[in-house]
Amino acid sequence: MKFDMLMDYLMFRTGGEEDNLSDNPTVTTGSIVWGVILRTSIVIILTLFLIRYTDFNEYWWYSFFVIWFFVAFPAFKQYQKFSERIKTLEEDTLCGKCRHFNQGAQTCQIYDVHVSKNHIPCEGMNWEPK
């Protein structure tokens, strides 16, 4: 598949509420951070290429607009969606109300595995209130 649809369009994968049912979520803080790094690298490389081989010297600062529209804003929107999804997961699951739940990674800190609406790794045995 075309390099996994160009790495799910450079890591700002679509994902959504269905991630809360999956033990292998598509959108995580890691995927968003990787997307920012990849996209920023692409913009910097293209800017350097244009400066080197065209008369882009006077307009290099346009790349800040590209970084805003291609990197920062989409990453911010995806992070907002991710935060809302995690909030739903916290409200709807036992793990979400447990002190061992890691919001950023969507994992259990004891078992070091992803939790979901369908999967409570300890089956409630290690649950402790926040």
Q: Which residues bind ligand SF4 (CB under 6 A)?
A: 94-95, 98, 100-101, 108, 110-111, 115, 120-122, 126-127
Q: Which is nearer to ligand SF4, 68 or 111 (CB)?
A: 111
Q: Tell me the residue length of the chain.
A: 130
Asked if 70 contacts 10 with a C-beta cutoff of 8 angstroms, the reply is no
Q: Which is nearer to ligand SF4, 12 or 19 (CB)?
A: 19
Residue 118: CB minimum distance to ligand SF4, A: 13
Residue 100: CB minimum distance to ligand SF4, A: 4
Residue 2: CB minimum distance to ligand SF4, A: 37
Residue 103: CB minimum distance to ligand SF4, A: 11
**What is the 3-state secondary structure of the chain?**
CCHHHHHHHHCCCCCCHHHHHCCCCCCCHHHHHHHHHHHHHHHHHHHHHHHHHCCHHHHCCHHHHHHHHHHHHHHHHHHHHHHHHHHHHHHHCCHHHECCEECCCCEECCCCEECECCECCCCCCCCCEC
Q: Which is nearer to ligand SF4, 21 or 37 (CB)?
A: 21
Q: Which is nearer to ligand SF4, 33 or 113 (CB)?
A: 113
